[in-house]
Amino acid sequence: MEALVELERVKKHFVIRDGILGRRRRFVHAVDDVSLSIVRGETFGIVGESGSGKTTIARIIPRLVNVTSGSVKFSGIDICRASGRELMLARRRMGIVFQDPASSLNPRVTVAASIQRPLQLAGLPAKEARDRVREVAELVNLGTEVLDKFPHELSGGQQQRASIARAIVLRPEFVILDEPTSALDVSVQAQVLNLLLDLQQRFSLTYLFISHNLPVVRYLCDRIAVMYLGKLVELASTGVLYREPLHPYSLALLMAAPPPDPKMRNRRRFILTGDPPSLTNPPQGCRLHPRCQFAVERCRVEEPELRDYGSGHLAACHRIGDLDLGFAM
Amino acid sequence: MAAKLLEVSGLEVQFDTSSGPVRAVRGVSFDIAEGEVLALVGESGCGKSTTALSILRLVPRPGEITGGRIVFDGVNLLDLDECSMTQYRGKQISMIFQNPLVALNPVYRSGFQVQEAVMLDKVPPDRAWRAALNVLKQVRLPDPEDRARSYPHELSGGMRQRVMIGMMISRFPRLLIADEPTTALDVTIQAQILDLLDDLRHEKRMSLLIITHDLGVVADIADRVGVMYAGALVETGDVTEVFEKPLHPYTQLLLKALPRGPKNELRLESIPGGVPNLSNLPPGCPFHPRCQRRLDICSKVEPETLEIHPGRTVRCHLVGGESFWKR
């Protein structure tokens, strides 16, 4: 198993200035000491609620934001220290699809021009580029009549397909999908998910899939990382995470979304109390402790470390030995 | 069977746009009994929110209710003058919206906004304040005394939604309309709010109309469900019946389009094409271009609503013809 992307002890702190003339500085610990690796050919999922740091990780890998500390490697290349040219070449091997397709396509140029832009930047002759655009449009089931339209003339599903076309037009190995279906209707979401699966099989793509929609992540991903307030709290293969979640937060997240089945209404529930705390002032000790019904004194003072509980199942919780959260979903 | 609190029949809403009239709601009929939870579910642009706003007669211009009846507790709300309608809004029927940050006034403290609602019933300020604190306690706002003095921007998304729910139930309405009440919230908070709505409905014996695009929310809280597509109600029924034996091809596909397990177990069913544009609906049944089981008649004649048994309706040519009953 070859790691394509490796994050080691990555931290990203954003500075917020407030107070008089911005003299007071506070830090938002968007990503705090996260290490993970994405294996070639897999779909790696990151789940978490707003403020968990999942989107920041998506932006750190192609160095759209610089890390505060730690290292990021893509296929052996040290992204944080790469020179301009090295970085450019590495980025050509990655594609990104953003959450909101309407705002990630340039409204002033046609869809074809948006998809063609990466090819231009890579120095492909115009004629070849145009052929490639048509080819890739066919791959994502975008009719050729759509190519000469402007983004606002397209439906949400078509827009997202155009974004996917743009992300794969340079034939990358790795595609970052940041909530690619959350702006779409259910019927259209299924089309896009099936398309992503087909493309992956055909081009042996590696995906990083970021979402807050648990059923979608379960459907698509081979391994899942659960994040809470900038911390990685659990990482496991999808089957293991659903069968034997170790962290109380994972359990709460897995059980929170109501399943589309009225007979499951009286299922066992596990609901977290309270709201996620502020990122500028995260709780001491385990960040979940104010919302966790299993918290003990130790959770309040000592931050739990991420430990391996066998075959790559990582979790960070003091109470794993004492609790049995296992259940069949 | 409990008495009907709300009966909507043949509701028509039209928006006059520069490119001609758009029928956003086309002949929608449903009812809600005392203490019942009805969910209207559908994708963007299906007319579910417009239907909800029509009940309060709050359809924004250039929209206009052009037909039908909305009978609440024996009174057709569409016959009332604006002044009498005010007696219903907030008092008998109230509504919570998707985004509490937009719906709450940013320059007033959250407790005051609830107090203000209570004072509409001519309650003196001090008693109204106590009532407001009480209601904030009922919606399980943590530290209600402190939070009542906070401004909306100082509260988290979940707390804001609790304040809004508190404001809306403070006058003991008989019908609460919730338009995507959990869509803007994180999933762990969504679970809390759904539980709260379910508890309140039992405690206060309120009827609830939930507008959502999330079939999970429907399955979790609704007694009955209406599925909307392109401005029309295509299927209604008891929630268990509709989820187990959906009759309309759209409902069937929608349920199969939801991921329920890992990819190697089941490939998702996808519905070809997209939601139609209401200003340019296809002739016949609006779903026919996306329907794999369409008949010749489907592209010509729009199906009528057929009642299978009381409370169970469907609007599809496949159901009700001779072939359906023979199967």
In terms of CA atoms, which chain A residue is nearest residue B268?
A190
Which residues from A are below 8 Å from B243, CB to CB?
Answer: 260-262
Q: Is B116 exposed, middle or buried (0-12, 13-18, 19+ CB in 10 A)?
A: middle
Q: Do A265 and B274 touch (CB under 8 A)?
A: no
Residue B189: pLDDT over 90: no
pLDDT in tens, A130-182: 999 999 999 998 888 899 999 998 888 899 999 999 999 999 999 999 999 88
Q: Do B187 and A256 touch (CB under 8 A)?
A: yes
Kindly state whether A142 is in contact with chain B, defined as any CB-CB distance less than 8 angstroms. Answer: no
Q: Do A253 and B192 touch (CB under 8 A)?
A: no
In terms of CA atoms, which chain B residue is nearest residue A265?
B220
CA A116 to chain B, closest CA, distance in angstroms equals 25
Q: Which two tokens stand for residue B245?
A: 């034996």
Residue B196: pLDDT over 70: yes
pLDDT in tens, A172-218: 999 999 999 888 888 889 999 999 999 999 999 999 999 988 899 99
How distant is the alpha carbon of residue A211 from its chain centre? 6
In terms of CA atoms, which chain B residue is nearest residue A47?
B187
Residue A328: pLDDT over 70: no
* Mean of the per-residue pLDDT values of chain A: 90
Q: Which of A269-273, B147-151, B268-272 has the highest mean pLDDT?
A: B147-151
Which residues from A are below 8 Å from B261, CB to CB?
Answer: 218-219
Superfamily of domain A36-60+179-315: P-loop containing nucleotide triphosphate hydrolases (3.40.50.300)
Q: Which of A232-236, A253-257, B139-143 has the highest mean pLDDT?
A: A232-236
Residue A275: pLDDT over 90: no
CA A153 to chain B, closest CA, distance in angstroms equals 12
Question: What structural domains does chain B harbor?
Answer: 1-92+175-259 (3.40.50.300), 101-172 (no CATH)
Kindly state whether A257 is in contact with chain B, defined as any CB-CB distance less than 8 angstroms. Answer: yes
In this complex, which of A212, A219, A273 lies closest to B262 when CB atoms are compared? A219
Which residues from B are below 8 Å from A158, CB to CB?
Answer: 274
Q: What CA–CA distance (Å, rounded) separates B290 from B274?
A: 8
Report domain extents, chain A.
36-60+179-315, 94-171
Residue B325: pLDDT over 70: no
Q: Do A158 and B156 touch (CB under 8 A)?
A: no
Residue A36 Ramachandran class (φ > 0 left, ψ -120 to 50 alpha, else beta): beta
In this complex, which of A186, A219, A276 lies closest to B43 when CB atoms are compared? A186
Q: What is the pLDDT of residue A329?
A: 43
Buried b (16+ CB within 10 A) or exposed e, A112-130: bbbbbbbbeeeebeeeebe
Which residues from A are below 8 Å from B272, CB to CB?
Answer: 191
Q: Do B217 and A188 touch (CB under 8 A)?
A: no
CA B224 to chain A, closest CA, distance in angstroms equals 11
Q: Do A263 and B188 touch (CB under 8 A)?
A: no
Kindly state whether A274 is in contact with chain B, defined as any CB-CB distance less than 8 angstroms. Answer: yes
Q: What is the pLDDT of residue B129?
A: 95
Which residues from A are below 8 Å from B213, CB to CB?
Answer: 185-186
Q: What is the pLDDT of residue A101?
A: 83
Which residues from B are below 8 Å from A220, CB to CB?
Answer: 259, 263
The band of B321, judged by pLDDT with boundaries at 50, 70 and 90, is low
CA A277 to chain B, closest CA, distance in angstroms equals 9
CA A292 to chain B, closest CA, distance in angstroms equals 12
Q: What is the pLDDT of residue B2?
A: 61
Q: What CA–CA distance (Å, rounded) separates B150 from B144?
A: 10
Detail the DSSP E strand segments found in B198-246.
207-212, 224-229, 232-238
In terms of CA atoms, which chain A residue is nearest residue B269?
A190
Contacts of A94 (CB under 8 A, 6+ apart): A61, A62, A74, A172, A173, A174, A175, A176
Residue B46: pLDDT over 80: yes
The band of B326, judged by pLDDT with boundaries at 50, 70 and 90, is very low
Q: Do B257 and A218 touch (CB under 8 A)?
A: no
Q: Do A215 and B267 touch (CB under 8 A)?
A: no
The band of A307, judged by pLDDT with boundaries at 50, 70 and 90, is very high
In terms of CA atoms, which chain A residue is nearest residue B45?
A185
pLDDT in tens, A54-80: 999 999 999 999 999 999 999 999 999
Residue A24: pLDDT over 80: no
B229 residue type, one letter: Y
How distant is the alpha carbon of residue B123 from its chain centre? 31
